[in-house]
Each structure stands twice: as structure tokens, then as C-alpha cells.
Chains A and B, each alone.
Chain A
Amino acid sequence: MNGQPVRPPRVASRRLTSATLTAGVLAAASCFVVAGAAEFTGRATDPGSMTDLAVLVSGLWALDPWAWASLGTFAVVATPALGLVATAWEYAQAADRSAFALALAVLAILVLSGLIAVLR
């Protein structure tokens, strides 16, 4: 170390990523609580395809536990991607190009996963 002071690292804020993940998990948990409450009160459930948007929307309106559980699941799956968008923005603000590129690369792979899954 030669007695020299340690170079301060380039620090990107973590607040936006942290807030995004927290918001996502709270949204998902809220949907799951609604699903649990609807099931507990004996609401009829009509499982359909999670990728059928019309069935999902009508199920949400009818307080179908399956539909609310599906919405919560979508919130869970979407949150990591939104977190990566927030991370990329934070690194862009800190002018940390390598970390910015890494965040975008991971985001691109997640988008690719979604596309492959749907088109398969």
C-alpha cells in the first residue's frame, strides 16, 4: 500500500434500485394477500392460462384468487427487470460505463428469455 491513501471508489447511488425492488415486492405481496383473502372467503376460482389477458382481467374484476395470484406472480417476475433498469440509470448518472453496460447486458438477457419463452 506504500502508505498512500486508498482511492475512494466510484460510488453509484443504490436508492432507486432499492426503492424499485421494495415497491415490486410490496405490490406482489398485496396481490397475494388479496388472493389469499379471496380464497379464504370462499371465492370461486377459475384457473385459465396465465398468458390470456382477457381471462386474467375478468378474473381480477371478479376477485378470483387465481387471477390475483397470477397478477402477483407477474409483479414478482417483472420486478428484477425493473430493478436492472433502475441500476443502469444509477450507473449512467455515476458515469460508470462498464457497470452500466453490464446492467444493460443482464436486462437484455432477461428480455431475450421472455421472447424465447413466448415464441417457443
Chain B
Amino acid sequence: MSAALIAFVVSVGAGGFGSLVGIGGGLIIVPVLSVGLGHDVKEAIAASLIGVIATSLSASPRYLRSGLVDRHLGLLLLVAATLGGLAGGLTAGYLDERILALLFGLLLAGVALQMLRQMRRPNPHPPIDDADLESNFTSSYVEHESGEVVTYRARRLVPGAAVSFVAGNVSGLLGVGGGVINVPTMNVLMHVPIRVATTTSTYMLAATATASAVVYIASGQLDPVLAAPVALGVIVGARLGARLAMRVSQDVLRLAFVVVAAVFAFSMIREAVAL
């Protein structure tokens, strides 16, 4: 099997899972391209960013049409996330990879634990009052399984935007979507329902990754022949994932996210310590 075909097949799986849980697939693509297929790490990161954008572009139209994306909130967080993505793209290569890997691994472990706690002890969203209804960040969506209209208000906007800046920065530095940080931030910190958090995160990934991808392109670190099968693979996978996302329960989404975050946290910490 040729390297391009392997990259394509892996990217189909990564794109499907990425759009399902709102993480963009970069967490899977980068290690496979660099460790598995022997590409330069920066080439792998750059190709992954193109895959992350493609994942978001492929899944977002369906999410937008279904009303599951909180676009107002997503745009607010994108202001911070794109600035972070630009900073990440510019600073990539100047920072110690081992420290980054360790910090990212610890962050992932913390995220997985926090999401697990939420599963075991569900925290219902705070009730909406009259003052909330005046807010631009009060929104609602229709729960596909029950047909129930769920109304919520995004809270802690400033801390949420600050974390989105960090997520954008990590995206630019490591070639991941940043959804692994955005989803729990929106869900746990800002009290946004998990389904809206995952779809809004997926919607945000394209612009976030674009801010850093242009830096990689201009500096000649992107190999389009590698990026093509990756992007094509995630486009196919993300379409499959977006179809499935409407039918999968919130608990399953949460559990899948916890498992993936825990696995990658372990592998990143191990890699950081072993370097």
C-alpha cells in the first residue's frame, strides 16, 4: 500500500471520529504521519492543519443547517482562537517540544478526568431567567432524540475566550484542531450543552487552523502532495461522522471523548519523559 493511500485511509478514520467529538482529527493524524510514515514533524503538523480545516468545512454545513452550531458564541471565541492560532504558527519551532508535549499531555489527562466526573455526576445547566433572555449568548437547540427544545446561556465568556486563545495556540503549534480544549471549556466552564459544544467547536476549527496554516504555507513547510490525501480522507470521514453525530447519545459522545483524550494524554506524557 502506498504512503498516500495509507495517509488517506488513516485520515478517513481520524476525520470521522474528529467530527463526531469535535476535535478535528489532528491528534491522530500527526503521530501517524510522523511516527508511522516517517514524515518530518513540521510537515506532519502542516498537513494535519489542512486536514483539520477540511474536517471542519466538511461537517459544518450539516451542523449549521440543523441549528446545532451556536454561531454567535463560536465567533466570539474565534476572535481569541484565531489570534492564538496565528501566535502558535509564528512561534512553532522556537519552543521546546518536550515541554509542550508534557503540558499538553497533562492538560489532556485533566480534561479526561473532568469529563469523566461530569458523566458520573451530571451537572444540569443553570436555569434560564428573564435577565438571561436579554443576553446575546442565550440560545437554544432541538434535541434530536427527544424533540425537546433546550435553552441555555453561555456563561464565563471572558475566561472561555482566554482558554480559546490557548486552544488556538496549541492548534498552531501542534497541528491539532484545538477542539480537545474547546469542547470541555464550553461544556464544563461555560455550561454549553455537550452537543452544541462539539458542533460549535467543529465549526470553529476551520478558521482557527487557517490562521496558522498560512504561516506554514508561506514558510514552505507544507507539502501539498502529503496534505491532499490527508484532506481528502478527512472530508470523507467527517461527512460520515457528521451523519452519525445526530444519532449518537450525549453519553456516548462524552465517553468517546474521555477515552481518546486519556489514550493520547498517556502517549504524550510518555513521549515527553522518554525524550
Contact = CB atoms under 8 A, between A and B. Distances in A.
Interface in A88-120: 96, 98-99, 102-103, 105-106, 109-110, 112-114, 116-118, 120
Contacts of B54: 25, 28, 76
A22 B56 CA distance: 11
B271 to A, nearest CB: 28
Contacts of A51: 217-218
Interface in A31-82: 32-33, 35-36, 39, 45, 47, 49-51, 65-66, 68-70, 72-73, 76-77, 79-81
Interface in B48-83: 50, 53-54, 56-58, 60-61, 64-65, 67, 69, 71-72, 75-76, 78-79, 82-83
Contacts of A72: 224, 228, 231
Interface residues of B, number: 57
A36 B75 contact: no
A79 B65 contact: no
Contact of A29 (B85, B224, B232): B232
Interface stretch (B127-135, B174-182, B193-201, B250-258): B127-135
Contacts of A65: 225, 228
A59 B75 CA distance: 37
Interface residues of A, number: 59
A99 B72 contact: yes
Contact of A98 (B65, B83, B136): B136
A76 B238 CA distance: 15
Residue with the greatest number of chain B CB neighbours at <10 A, chosen from A6, A49, A76, A103 = A76
B265 to A, nearest CB: 29
Given A1-B129, A102-B76, A18 B225 contact: no
Interface string B123-166: 00001111001001011100000000001000000000000000
Given A65-B225, A73-B224, A120 B79 contact: no
Given A109-B211, A113-B214, A9 B139 contact: yes
Nearest to A73: B224
Contact of B75 (A9, A14, A35, A103): A103
Contacts of A83: 57, 60, 206-207
A73 B220 contact: no
B139 A109 contact: no
Interface of A is mostly: helix
27 contacts: A6-B133, A14-B65, A32-B231, A36-B229, A36-B232, A39-B4, A47-B223, A50-B217, A50-B224, A65-B228, A77-B50, A77-B214, A81-B210, A83-B207, A87-B75, A102-B72, A102-B78, A106-B75, A106-B207, A109-B82, A110-B211, A113-B82, A113-B85, A113-B86, A116-B215, A117-B89, A117-B214
Given A29-B231, A51-B217, 4 more contacts: A1-B127, A14-B69, A77-B53, A113-B211
Interface of A: 1-2, 4, 6-7, 9, 12, 14-15, 17-19, 21-22, 24-25, 28-29, 32-33, 35-36, 39, 45, 47, 49-51, 65-66, 68-70, 72-73, 76-77, 79-81, 83-84, 87, 96, 98-99, 102-103, 105-106, 109-110, 112-114, 116-118, 120
The 3 closest A-B pairs by CB, nearest first: A117-B218, A69-B224, A102-B75
Interface of B: 4, 50, 53-54, 56-58, 60-61, 64-65, 67, 69, 71-72, 75-76, 78-79, 82-83, 85-86, 89-90, 127-130, 133, 136, 138-140, 151, 206-207, 210-215, 217-220, 222-225, 227-229, 231-232, 235
